[in-house]
Amino acid sequence: MPTFTVSCSVLVALLLTSAPHAAAAQPSAGMPQPPADLIVTNGRIYTADPARPLVDAFAVRGGRVVFTGSAREAKALAGPATTVVDADGRTVIPGMVDGHAHFSGLAQKLRSVDLVGTRSLDEVIARVVERARRTPKGTWIVGRGWDQNAWGHTAFPTHEALSAATPDHPVLLERVDGHAAYVNAAAMQRAGLTAATKDPSGGKIVRDAKGKPTGVLIDRASGLVERQVPPLSSQEMRAALKDAVTRMHSLGLVGMHDAGASREQIELFEDMAQQGELNLRLYVMIADDATALDHYFQVGPRSALYDGQLWVRAVKLYADGAMGSRGA
């Protein structure tokens, strides 16, 4: 059955009225009702009310669902300026919430090389080379999504082919799980990464038989190179986050549990919410950083800030690596 997304605002509104008393709302008899802004009819509309899970129509006013029920009753709320949409039998569901994701990570990913679904190292390198063609020399190229297990073997790549294809750009490519990175010679040179570099606590530099780094860095070893990548400016990150919200809305997502954000990121989320630029339900876990934790422990937990857009009341702790990147 195809799904039908009316708009993100409607999906958010339907979420807000998922309680039984709201989902079964009816126009008050004998009392004039202001016209609805939007009416959707002829759909399979899931209300999240166990007593009445499916209805034919709903009406929205002021960003809130004010009625769910039959098309005839919904149309009674129509006015001259009401938009009426025929769902043509499609399914309408409440907006979805991603239970584990990374808001800033999604924002940055939309500006990086997408390596998800690559079937070989050659394909990974080809995508990076394509980006390099339109990127000034010396500028970092970042990407994410490679998985050596999808290449027909399980061996980690080594940097030689990537380094030869991209000699003029430092390159850092995160594995699909975010627990390993694949870098070229230019990136290792920027980071001062050599055979003499020691493995950091909680991380591993994959090495060849002579002890030289092969280009794969596991868990905290990735930070040796990652810290050399210039961060986006506040304006660039704000724009990227807006793009991330747009992408989420296009998929029917209206909320996210952000599994680990820095204080700087959280403060930007909060500023966007204050300015009416977030348009998202964001449940943020504070990243495992002593300074940030000290700050937020003093502030205390906060819930449903800025009209239910932001929660800051949880902590993300890291205890292990991942299976695919062999850091577990």
Mean pLDDT, the chain, whole residue set: 90
The amino acid occupying position 223 is G
Domain assignment present for residue 119? The answer is yes
121-128 contacts, C-beta under 8 A, 24 or more apart? 121/148, 121/151, 121/157, 121/161, 122/161, 124/157, 124/162, 124/173, 124/182, 125/161, 125/162, 125/165, 125/166, 128/162, 128/165, 128/166, 128/171, 128/173
Pair (182, 243) in one structural domain: no
pLDDT bucket at 16, cuts 50 / 70 / 90: very low
Domain assignment present for residue 105? The answer is no
Pair (241, 267) in one structural domain: yes
pTM score: 0.69
Domain assignment present for residue 89? The answer is yes
CATH number of residue 31's parent domain: 2.30.40.10
Pair (215, 281) in one structural domain: no
Domain assignment present for residue 324? The answer is no
Q: How far apart, in whole angstroms, are the C-alpha atoms of residue 77 and residue 218?
A: 59
Pair (213, 236) in one structural domain: no
Among candidates 43, 59, 58, 57, which has minimal Cα distance to 91? 43
Q: How far apart, in whole angstroms, are the C-alpha atoms of residue 10 and residue 16?
A: 10
Rounded mean pLDDT, 163-189: 97
Helix crossing, 263-274 with 234-250: angle to 10°? 70
Rounded mean pLDDT, 182-209: 97
Domain assignment present for residue 219? The answer is yes
Rounded mean pLDDT, 177-205: 97
Pair (118, 214) in one structural domain: yes
What is the total count of domains within the chain? Answer: 3
**Does 18 have pLDDT greater than 50?**
no
What are the pLDDT digits (tens) for 211-229? 999 999 999 999 999 999 9
Q: How far apart, in whole angstroms, are the C-alpha atoms of residue 41 and residue 72?
A: 9
Range of the domain at 289: 232-315
Pair (26, 45) in one structural domain: yes
Domain assignment present for residue 212? The answer is yes
**Does 6 have pLDDT greater than 70?**
no
Rounded mean pLDDT, 303-318: 94
How many percent of the chain have pLDDT more than 70? 91
Domain assignment present for residue 104? The answer is no
What is the number of helices (H) and of strands (E) in the chain? 12, 18
pLDDT of 33: 80
Mean pLDDT lowest for which of 10-14, 208-212, 267-271?
A: 10-14
pLDDT bucket at 17, cuts 50 / 70 / 90: very low
CA distances from 197 to 63, 200, 207, 212, 311 (A): 56, 9, 11, 9, 40
Pair (61, 125) in one structural domain: no
Domain assignment present for residue 76? The answer is yes
What are the pLDDT digits (tens) for 265-275? 999 999 999 99
What are the pLDDT digits (tens) for 232-285? 888 999 999 999 999 999 999 999 999 999 999 999 999 999 999 999 999 999
Rounded mean pLDDT, 77-97: 95
